[in-house]
Amino acid sequence: MKSNFLKFTFWKVVGVIIIVAGLFSMYIRFTKGLGASTNLSDAFPWGIWIGFDMLCGVGLAAGGFTLCAVTHIFNIEKFKPLTRSAILTAFLGYILAICGLMFDLGRPWAIWHAIIMWNTHSVMFEVAWCVMLYSTVLFLEFFPVVLERFKLVKLQKILKSVAIPIMMLGILLSTLHQSSLGSLYLIMPEKMHPLWYSPFLPINFYLSAISAGFAMVIFESYLSARAFNHGLKLNLLSTCGLISLIFILVNFALKIAYLTVTGKLQYLMIPSSTTYLFYLEILLGTIVPGFFLSSKKFRDNKKYLYFSSLFVIAGFLLNRMNVSVTSLAAMSTASYFPSVYEISVTLMLCTVGMWAFKLITANFPVFEEEREEEIPESALEPNSKPLTISE
Amino acid sequence: MIKQKGMLYDITLCVGCGNCYNACKEQNKLPETNKDFLKDHLSDKTYTVVEQYGEHYSRKNCMHCQDPACVSVCPVGAFTKTALGPVLYNADKCIGCRYCMQACPHKVPRYEWSNLNPRVRKCILCHDRLKQGLPTACSEACPTGATMFGDLDDLREEAKKRLRENPNTYYQRIYGMEEAGGSNVLVVSPVPFEQLGFVSNLPKQPLPKLTAQAMEKIPGVVGVGAVFLTGMYWLTKRKNEVAREENSKRTGSVNNEK
C-alpha cells in the first residue's frame, strides 16, 4: 500500500508546529511550575485550562449523550448513523478535558485522591466522579465499534446486552455533571458580574451544552463528509440544527426572564467591554443561529447549516469564557489573559483531538450504523484491510 | 464544651506598628517579603498584612468563617473547620484545583505558584498555640489591644458593647458578624468597611448554602430521570414494534388479495 503519511500538506505542517510548541509548553509547565508557565495569580486562580479545556471540552462533548438518548432511549432509529461519531467526539472530548486538567492541577499526581477522600458537599467532587464514571461509560459505548472492526462477535454480544442500562447511566451522569459545571460558580455570587451570575447557572449550562452538542454533530459530520467523501445525512443534520435552536431559545428565554425579574436589565445599558461581550455572546450564539436555523430553507442547505453550527459553537465557547473569565474580571481589580504556554497547550489538545478523530474514523466503522442482524460466520475471517495512518 | 476562639480587630486602636505582621512571620517561620511591611500584601509567604487607608490601619488575614466556602468546595476535604475555630488546610490531601481560592468570599487563600509541589497558604489562627491554651501570636504582640484574642462569644459581646457605648466613634456594623454567615474574626471600625478594603457586598447567608440548594436536587433528578428514561425506552420501543407489526400485516393482506 502506498502510504501518504509522510506527504506534507499545509494543515499537517501547522499541526506539527502546534504540537511541538505544545510539548515545549508542557516541559515548561512541569519543570518551572504554574507560576512561570501561566498568567494565573492569587486573584485569578482559574484560567483557560479550566474555562476552555474543561468547561468547553466537556460541554461540546454533550452530543454523545443526547444522541444516545435520541436513538436508544427515545428509539428514533433514523438518527443511528450519527450516534457513533457523536460518541467518539464525546469520548475524545472527555479524554482531552482530563488531559487539560492534568496541566491545571497543582498536584496532578494526587488526582486519585478524589476516589478515596470524599467531600460530598463539594460540586467539584461530584463533577470528578461523574466525569470519571462517564468516561468509562463512553469507552463502553464506543468499544463495540472497535469490536466490530476486529469482528469479535462474542464480546459484541455481551456489550450489547448491557447497552441500554449503560446508555441510561451515561445520560444521567451527563445531566448531573453538565449542569454541575455551572453549579461550580454558584458559590461566588459577589465575585461574578450580574449579567452572568444566576441561580439558574446549572440549567443554563445544561441547556447550552445540549445545543452545542447537536451543533458539534453537524460540524463534525460536515467536515468528515468532506474529508472521506461519504454522503451527508442532510435531513438528519437539519433536524439536529432545529433541536439545537430550540434549546438555544429556551436557554435565552430563561436568561432574559431572570434578568428581567431580578431587575438586572439595567446592566445591559452600561457601556463597557463586559456588556459588549455579553451582547457578542448573544449575537453569535443566539441571534445569528436563530436567524438561519429557524428557516427551513437555510437549514436544509448544507453550507448554511454548517455555518450556523459554527456560530452556535462560537457562542457557546464565548459563553463559557465569559462565565469563567469575563464575569470574574469585571468584578475584580485583577485581570487575566492567558499566557502563550496556556494557549499553546490548549491548541495542542485541540489538534490532538482532531487528529485522533480523523485517525479513528479512517480505521473504524464510525460512520456506519451498528449492525442489527447477526454477523454471518463467513465474515469471521481476519480483516485484511490495512490500518490507515493518514488521509 | 470547647469554646470557639476568635479575634477582634478594633481599627480605632491600631497605630500601624506592624508587630502583628512580624509576630506572624516569626511564628510561621516565613521569610521577609518586603522591607516596608505596609507595602506588603498577602502571599504564600505572608499570612497577615497591615494596610494603610489614610489615617486608618486595617489588618487582613483569613477570617475563619463559621461555615467556610473553602471547606465546602474542596473536592478531597483538604480543609477543615476545627472545634476551636481555626480553618485548617491539609496539603497531603490537596490535589491543587484551587477551588478554595476561587470560592473564598474574602479572597484569602494564597498559592505557591513557583513551587513544583504547590500548597495553599493562609493564616491558621495559630492552631497549635490555641491547643496549648495560648493566644494567637499576632494578638500577643499587639501593644494597643487593637487585636484582641478570646472566646468568640465574649468577643461578639465586646464588639457590640463598643459600638453601643461609643456610637459616634464607630461605624455601626460589626464586620464578620453576618458576612457570609459570620466568622471567627470580627472587625469594628470608625468608617464603612469598603473604605478599608473589605469585601462589602457579601450575602448574609453562608455561601455553601448556595451550592447545597443545587446539590440537594441531585437525588431527585437521578430518580425522576431514571424512571423517565426507562419509561420512554419502553414506550418508544413498543411503539416501534407495533408500527412494524402493522406494517407487516398490511403488506401481508395486500399480498393475499393478489
Task: Give the CATH number for residue B58.
Answer: 3.30.70.20
Which candidate in B93, B215, B244 is best for mutational testing of the A interface (most A CBs within 10 A)?
B215
Closest CA–CA distance from residue B208 to any residue of chain A (Å): 6
Q: A30 contacts in B (CB within 8 Å)?
A: 116
CA pair distance B70, B75, nearest whole angstrom:
10
Could you tell me if B43 and B90 lie in one domain? yes
What is the domain extent for residue A330?
Answer: 36-369
What is the domain extent for residue B89?
Answer: 5-205
Interface of B with A in 138-177 (CB under 8 A): none
Could you tell me if B139 and B244 lie in one domain? no
Closest CA–CA distance from residue B56 to any residue of chain A (Å): 22
The count of domains in chain A is: 1
Q: Is B78 a domain residue?
A: yes
Chain A and chain B share a number of CB contacts under 8 A equal to 167
Please give the pLDDT value at position A12.
86
Contact check, Cβ <8 Å, A42/B110: yes
Closest CA–CA distance from residue A42 to any residue of chain B (Å): 6
Closest CA–CA distance from residue B143 to any residue of chain A (Å): 31
Could you tell me if B180 and B243 lie in one domain? no
Which candidate in A29, A39, A42 is best for mutational testing of the B interface (most B CBs within 10 A)?
A42
Burial annotation A23-53 (CB, 10 A radius, 16+ → b, else e) = eebbebbeeebbbebbbbbbebbbbbbbbbb
CB neighbours of residue A384 within 10 Å: 5
Please give the pLDDT value at position A85.
87
Q: Closest to A43 (Cβ–Cβ): which among B72, B107, B210?
A: B107
Contact check, Cβ <8 Å, B218/A126: yes
Q: Closest to B221 (Cβ–Cβ): which among A31, A118, A175?
A: A175
Q: Closest to A105 (Cβ–Cβ): which among B95, B199, B237?
A: B95
Ranges of residues in chain A with a pLDDT under 50 are: 1-2, 372-384, 391
Could you tell me if B38 and B130 lie in one domain? yes
Domain of A62, CATH number, reads 1.20.1630.10
Could you tell me if B9 and B114 lie in one domain? yes
Q: Closest to A183 (Cβ–Cβ): which among B115, B214, B237?
A: B214
Q: B71 contacts in A (CB within 8 Å)?
A: 121
Could you tell me if B103 and B180 lie in one domain? yes
Q: Closest to B74 (Cβ–Cβ): which among A31, A119, A175?
A: A119
Q: B111 contacts in A (CB within 8 Å)?
A: 34, 42, 45, 106
Q: Closest to A187 (Cβ–Cβ): which among B98, B101, B103?
A: B103
Contact check, Cβ <8 Å, B229/A69: yes
What is the DSSP pairing of strand B49-53 with strand B87-89?
unpaired
Per-position DSSP letters for A167-184, written without gaps between them: HHHHHHHHHHHHHHHHHT
Angle at CA of residue B195, ends B194 and B198, nearest 5° = 40
Q: What's the one-letter identity of residue A21?
A: A
Please give the pLDDT value at position B4.
93
Q: Is A113 a domain residue?
A: yes
- For chain A, say whether B243 makes contact (Cβ under 8 Å): no
User: What number is the ipTM of this complex?
Assistant: 0.89
Average per-residue pLDDT for chain B: 91
Could you tell me if B54 and B134 lie in one domain? yes
Q: Is A285 a domain residue?
A: yes
Q: How many residues are recorded in chain A?
A: 391
Tell me the backbone φ, ψ of residue B51, rounded to 5 degrees. Answer: -115, 145
Q: Is A13 a domain residue?
A: no
Which candidate in A112, A122, A168 is best for mutational testing of the B interface (most B CBs within 10 A)?
A122
At B258, is the pLDDT very low, low, confident or very high (cuts 50, 70, 90)? very low
Could you tell me if B92 and B124 lie in one domain? yes
Please give the pLDDT value at position A391.
44
Interface of B with A in 52-81 (CB under 8 A): 69, 71-78
Please give the pLDDT value at position A369.
60
Element (H, E) at B52: strand B49-53
Q: Is A105 a domain residue?
A: yes
CA pair distance B246, B240, nearest whole angstrom:
10
Three cell numbers, residue B164:
453601643
Q: How many CA atoms lie within 13 A of A210 on its CB side?
A: 25
Could you tell me if B15 and B138 lie in one domain? yes
Q: Is B212 a domain residue?
A: no
> Is residue A275 within 8 Å of residue A223, measured between CB atoms?
no
pTM listed for this prediction:
0.90
Please give the pLDDT value at position A6.
63
3-state helix, strand, coil split of chain A in percent (to 5) is: 75, 0, 25
Q: B210 contacts in A (CB within 8 Å)?
A: 186-187, 189, 199
CA pair distance B9, B139, nearest whole angstrom:
9
Mean pLDDT of the region B194-206: 90
Please give the pLDDT value at position A349.
94
CA pair distance B134, B23, nearest whole angstrom:
14
Q: Closest to B76 (Cβ–Cβ): which among A33, A117, A191?
A: A117
Cα B179 to chain centroid distance, Å, stands at 11
Collect all residues with Cβ–Cβ distance below 8 Å to B116 and sequence separation of at least 6: A30, A31, A33
Three cell numbers, residue A2:
502506498
Q: What is the pLDDT of residues B22-81, one digit of tens each?
A: 999 999 999 989 889 999 999 999 999 999 999 999 999 999 999 999 999 999 999 999
Could you tell me if B104 and B171 lie in one domain? yes
The count of domains in chain B is: 2
Q: B69 contacts in A (CB within 8 Å)?
A: 187
Contact check, Cβ <8 Å, A73/B103: no
SS3 for A247? Answer: helix
Q: B199 contacts in A (CB within 8 Å)?
A: 190
Q: Closest to A122 (Cβ–Cβ): which among B75, B226, B229?
A: B75
Contact check, Cβ <8 Å, A164/B207: no
Q: Closest to B73 (Cβ–Cβ): which among A41, A69, A124?
A: A124
Could you tell me if B175 and B226 lie in one domain? no
Q: Is A66 a domain residue?
A: yes
3-state helix, strand, coil split of chain B in percent (to 5) is: 40, 15, 45
Long-range interactions of B53-57: CB distance < 8 A, separation 24+:
B53/B195, B53/B196, B53/B197, B56/B11, B56/B14, B56/B189, B56/B190, B56/B191, B56/B195, B56/B196, B57/B11, B57/B14, B57/B15, B57/B16
Which candidate in B89, B116, B235 is best for mutational testing of the A interface (most A CBs within 10 A)?
B116
Please give the pLDDT value at position B252.
67
Could you tell me if B200 and B238 lie in one domain? no
Q: B43 contacts in A (CB within 8 Å)?
A: 42
**Nearest partner of A323 among A91, A110, A46, judged by Cα:** A46
Q: Is A11 a domain residue?
A: no
Q: What is the pLDDT of residues B124-180, one digit of tens each?
A: 999 999 999 999 999 999 999 999 999 999 999 999 999 999 999 999 999 999 999
Please give the pLDDT value at position B226.
92
